[in-house]
Structure formats: C-alpha cells, structure tokens
Amino acid sequence: MVINMASNSTEAQLQHVIDRIKECGFTPHVTRGSERAIVAAVGSGGNRSALEALKAAPGVEDVVPIAHPFKLVSRQTRSGRTCVQVGEVCIGGDEAVVIAGPCSVESREQLFSTARGIKAAGASMLRGGAYKPRTSPYDFQGLGVEALRLLSEVRKETGLPVVTEVMSTEDIDVISEHADMLQIGARNMQNFALLRQLAKVNKPILLKRGPSANVKEWLLAAEYLLAGGNPNVVLCERGIKTFETEMRNTLDLAAVALVRELSHLPVIVDPSHGTGRRDLIQPASRAALAIGADGLIIEVHPCPERAMSDGAQSLNLEEFAKVMASLSAPLRLVATAAVAHA
Ligand code: PEP
Ligand code: MN
C-alpha cells in the first residue's frame, strides 16, 4: 500500500501515519517530494484493511494498493501450476479435461444414457445437478438425494468421476458421500458461510465465477477455500452479466488468460451457461482451449427439447460428439506478408 499525504499535511500527521503503519505490522518507507510526502507500507504479514482505513486519517489524501489482496491462490506463492486430482482425472495438467452431463439429473434413464454417451465421445468426468439454483421458485428444483444416489450408481458403472453443486451448508455431508467434486455455483460464489465450510471438506471444489464478480472477487472467494485448508480448487469462468441480450451471459475468455497469469489454480470454461446457446458451444469451446483453459464443462442431454432445465443451451449426444471431435482441429492458418527480398 502507498499512502499519499495531502500537500498541506503537517509533520505530526505524517508521523502519525508512520506510527500506524508500524502498528499494523508493516515497515514504512517515506519519500518526500517537493509538494508532498508519500509513505510505502511494505511487508506481507500485516493488517491490510487497517491500512486502508488510514484514508480517514487527518492529512491523508489517498491509500493506494500496489499488491494483490489474495495470497495463497497467487502465483507469487506458488510459481508452478497446480494440478487438482479428481479420482483418476488431473485438472490443470498437460491435457485439457472435458466434463459433460445434464444440467439436472432427471431420471435413471436420462442420466445413464447421457453418461454412456459422453464417455463414448471422450469426456473424462460427469456433471449433473441434484440441487438446482433456479431463478423462479416454481421451476424444477432438482431430485436431491435421489439424484445423488443415481450419480453414485452411474459412477460405478462408467468410472467417470462426478461433480455436482452444493447450495447449502446442510447438504455438504450427504453430497460428499456421493460426489467426487463439489461445485459452488455462480450465485453462491460469495456465500462466505458455504465457502468456509467447504474449505474443511476433503473433496476438490469447482468454484464458478459469480455473474457480477470481478476477477479479484473471484480469486478472493478461492482464497477463502485455500486459507481454510482446502488446496484443491478449480476455477470456472461461466459468463458475466453485461448489456448484451442475444446471449444469456457474456463469456469472459480474456479473464481465463488473466487468471492463469495471476493464479496457479486450474481454470476451466463453461460455454453452456456462458453463452446460453447451443450453436455457440463449439466455437466458444475451441476459443477457450486456445486461450489456455484447463478444461471445459458442457451441458448435454439425450433430448434437450425435453430437458427440465437449461434445454436451450444443452447439446444432444451426437452434437456433443461433434464438439469433442472439433476440439483438436487446428486453428485457421494466418496469412503472412510476403517477405521482401533484397
Ligand atoms: C449449473 O452448472 O447448472 C449452474 C446452475 O451453473 P451456474 O452456477 O454457473 O449458473
Ligand atoms: Mn444449467
């Protein structure tokens, strides 16, 4: 943090700021300019928010952060990339991982046919919602424990590790019995009670970005999990709210590249919620891998027109197989200007 003193501040006010910086656990470095003094507060173990409060101290014009507020998720803490192990699957390794499955678990037949189909097409993990965060209370809310049992059974048959959403702290234990990875949905990204509890769970976490969260808030939500003792966190970009109305959300792919610069955690992309449009799943998936995503999570349903949630953005099995096949196709050639010969 840098504390900018006002041009008319007094020596006593400057001394007070220096004293407070020391009290907060940082080392003050004063630079006196011709018009004003600035004080850099250096160190990592101190109380940042107490320093921010110096904005209210007499003679202080502004307090400007110069370092990121997150620590454990930061690349400064860990320069190599983290691989999060989910069963046999490593997310964040050399190969991109594709997770696929229905928005909601609806029935045994729907779940098993989807799981078999996505496995045959090459997916490595199965998704399926048992507890659904729905905008309207009149919409399908998920099958709950019945869906969890079906997810367990289908894992046994296919060997595919399962990820499913936890909406409430009271469901953590039962979901942990059945799932291999727990998803924190976009709407719960800043549910701090849930984050604190999931930090204590011995399961990897898929942390979706909130629809209105900036990258700093997203990484601070992940910081809650790491700081509370769970190092196995995968981030998921799933689109944010913007003024655009042709798509459900705006898929912020540049944030994927940015997060990979800022953090060692793996980051995957959800083009289904990110666009809300099945016609955009293939190009958005290819773009996500091109920009560096460690994987994808894609909604697939054996008959999207009958899906009880998110049918419009779900692919059928044939379409999913085509998307899978397209993922390794090379990007287009780039025209190169003719080289002038002397
Ligand atoms: C989902 O994965 O079905 C879901 C509800 O996702 P999000 O939290 O990203 O909206
Ligand atoms: Mn969905």
Give per-residue pLDDT as tens, 2-41.
Answer: 999 999 999 999 999 999 999 999 999 998 998 999 998 9
Can you give the chain as a three-state secondary structure string? CEEEECCCCCHHHHHHHHHHHHHCCCEEEEEECCCCEEEEEECCCCCHHHHHHHHHCCCEEEEECCCCCCCCCECCCCCCCCCEEECCEEECCCCCEEEEECCECCCHHHHHHHHHHHHHHCCCEEECECCCCCCCCCCCCCCCHHHHHHHHHHHHHHCCCEEEECCCHHHHHHHHHHCCEEEECHHHCCCHHHHHHHCCCCCCEEEECCCCCCHHHHHHHHHHHHHCCCCCEEEEECCECCCCCCCCCECCHHHHHHHHHHECCCEEECHHHHHCCHHHHHHHHHHHHHHCCCEEEEEECCCHHHCCCCHHHCECHHHHHHHHHHCCCCCCCCCCCCCCCC
Give the tens place of pLDDT for each residue, 201-218. 999 999 999 999 999 999
Give the tens place of pLDDT for each residue, 308-334. 999 999 999 999 999 999 999 999 999
Ligand 1, atom 6, lies closest to the CA of 185
User: Does residue 340 register a pLDDT over 80?
Assistant: no
Ligand 1, atom 3, lies closest to the CA of 103
Give the tens place of pLDDT for each residue, 248-279. 999 999 999 999 999 999 999 999 999 999 99
pTM of the model: 0.92
Q: Which comes out higher in pLDDT, residue 49 or 84? A: 84
Measured from CB, residues less than 6 Å from any atom of ligand 1 are: 103, 129, 133, 185-187, 208, 238, 270, 273
The atom of ligand 1 lying closest to the CA of 297 is 2
- Ligand 1 pocket test, candidate residues 106, 136, 208, most atoms within 8 A of CB: 208
Give the model's confidence band at 44: pLDDT under 50 very low, under 70 low, under 90 confident, else very high: confident
> What per-residue confidence (pLDDT) applies to 89?
98
